Each structure stands twice: as C-alpha cells, then as structure tokens.
C-alpha cells in the first residue's frame, strides 16, 4: 500500500520520536510539530496509516502507536553502470539497468556494478564478462583492491598500497611487478567488494 507525501512525513516523524523518546507522541504533539490546528487531521492520518499496515495502535489508549516494521524485502538491486577494461577509460552506459546482487556481496556504502571486458585482469582472477561489485569512494586503505583511473584515462584494478608519498599498485599475482604512481595522478573510483561470474 503506497503512502502519500503527508502520510510518509508523519510516519517518519513517528519513527524518530519513538526512537528518541521510547514512547509514542500524543495526537496534539504530532499536530504541533506539523503546525496543524486540528487533532482530527492527525487522527485521520493515523487511521489511514493503520489501515495501510504501517502502524498499530490500541483504541482509546494514550500514546499507544507502534511501528510495524516492513520486511522491506531487502532490495538488492544495484545499478550496472558500464564496463571496464584495463588500460581504457571506464565506459558508462546512459540508462544503467538495475541487477540483483546477493546481500552478502554488498557493503553498507554506495554500491555499483561494472562488467569486465577482456582478459587483461586475468592475473587478478578476473575474467572477461565478470561482474564486479564496487563500493563508490575516493579513498582506500592499504591492501584494498581499487578501481582507479591513472591520469584520468587508464582504468586499472589492483591492490593499493601507499608508501613514501607515492602509491604502489600491486597485482594479485605475486610474480607480476607492481606499478608505482604519484598520488595526484591517481583517481580512485571505488573499492572492489565482490564479483559474480556466469559460465
């Protein structure tokens, strides 16, 4: 059951009030908060919210509103923003589609997905066609695998280590040699947090 704007506002207020104070507000308090003069307006809003299943209340009981927690079905839809091939710029698509990603592969942050093109990252155990899940941020701690642009042009996907004012990009494969770049030539686009492959 969808909510209207006002209903949503009131539900949000109820959530916050309950979280902060531990008990629910009276109709008068809700009315005062929204600058509404009549309790009846609030009363009707609460009635609708209850009908739509967002709250529960005991009749005639003061401050008896409870919030019904939605099992928001934990939407795991994440945008597939485009494709990445080592040595090329990241290619974004105009209207990114949303694809399902298991919650276990996501982080708290802002996640997106890139399709890997070519086998240039095979040394990181990443193959053509793989989908990598990335957390969008512009910094990384030592040892994290980052999606980064060198000189704003070449995309790369390597483990990052900072040392003596420069950055070492270390391939996952220990037999390969690392790349060293100055900090200011590197723009971190995100940190790799997961991978999906379809055979």
Query: Which active-site residues does the annotation give?
Result: 120, 158
Q: Which is nearer to a second copy, 109 or 185 (CB)?
A: 109
Beta bridge partners of 147: 157, 190
What's the token pair of residue 73?
């079905």
Q: Give min distance, CB of 175 to DNA, in A.
A: 48
List C-alpha distances in Å: 189 to 20, 26, 51. Answer: 37, 48, 45
Residue 25 DSSP class? P
Binding mask of the shown chain, residues 87 to 126, with x at each position contacting a second copy by CB under 8 A? --------x--xxxxxxxx----------------x--xx
CB 148 within 8 A of CB 188: yes
Please state the length of the chain: 199
d(CA 149, CA 123): 18
Binding mask of the shown chain, residues 47 to 76, with x at each position contacting a second copy by CB under 8 A? -----------x--xxxxxx-----xxxxx
Other C-beta atoms closer than 10 Å to the C-beta of 84 total 25
| Chain residues that interact with DNA, rule: CB under 7 A | 4-7, 24, 26-29, 31, 34, 36-41, 43-46, 48, 57, 59-64
Residue range at the interface with a second copy (CB under 8 A); choices 17-25, 31-39, 81-89, 182-190: 17-25
Which residues of this chain interact with a second copy, rule CB under 8 A? 2-5, 7-8, 12, 15, 21-24, 58, 61-66, 72-77, 95, 98-105, 122, 125-127, 144-145, 191-199
């Amino acid at each position: 059951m969808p909510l209207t704007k006002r209903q949503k506002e009131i539900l949000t207020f109820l959530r916050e009030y309950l979280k902060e104070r531990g008990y629910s507000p009276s109709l008068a308090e809700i009315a005062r908060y929204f600058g509404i003069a009549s309790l009846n307006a609030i009363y009707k809003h609460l009635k609708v919210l209850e009908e739509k299943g967002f709250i529960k209340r005991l009749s005639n009981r003061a401050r008896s509103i409870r919030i019904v927690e939605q099992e928001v079905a934990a939407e795991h839809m994440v945008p597939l923003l485009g494709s990445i091939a080592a040595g090329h710029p990241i290619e974004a698509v105009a209207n990114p589609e949303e694809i399902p990603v298991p919650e276990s592969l996501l982080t708290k942050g802002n996640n997106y997905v890139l399709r890997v093109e070519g086998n240039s990252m095979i040394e990181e155990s990443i193959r053509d066609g793989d989908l990598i899940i990335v957390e969008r941020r512009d910094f990384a701690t030592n040892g994290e695998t980052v999606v980064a642009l060198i000189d704003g042009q070449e995309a790369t996907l390597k483990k990052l280590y900072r040392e003596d004012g420069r950055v070492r990009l270390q391939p996952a494969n220990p037999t390969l040699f690392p790349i060293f770049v100055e900090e200011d030539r590197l723009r971190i686009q995100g940190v790799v947090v997961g991978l999906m492959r379809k055979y």
